Copies of this chain bind each other. A is one copy, B any other.
């Protein structure tokens, strides 16, 4: 769980792979003036140490028919029900993110749905979970920023 030491080379490798996981190691090697074998070894190490947890495609959800996003704040009857409620939430695939939070809500989650009708069904399903006293929904009218890469590039240039 602790922090892992990465040097400048590692950062630059990640910086290139962040934008395109299929960037050939030979290209990375050329740019960083090291051998492809070294890139390979370093990537493998970062995978083993858990820094690199995996890779994923960025898909266009709208084109897949899922254009609805909402955030749902959850109020629990008792906080000791948190674990149970989270387990139930994780059984709903349309709940893509959930956090235990301080502040207004006890749990805070994000849902992706096809449309308002679909979203309504999902929210009703959430409302039905035992231990939840009330929910508050914020509907996204527009996802204006969604950019983890910007943060990553910032982190990798912090050295």
Contacts and interface: CB of A to CB of B under 8 A. Distances in A.
Contacts of A94: 151, 154
Nearest to A91: B150
Given A63-B1, A90-B145, A96-B148, A18 B57 contact: yes
A98 interface: yes
Interface stretch (A28-36, A45-53, A125-133): A45-53
Q: Is the interface of A mostly helix, strand, loop or mixed?
A: mixed
Interface residues of A, number: 70
Interface of A: 1-4, 14, 17-22, 49-60, 62-66, 69, 71, 86, 89-90, 93-105, 107-109, 112, 136-155
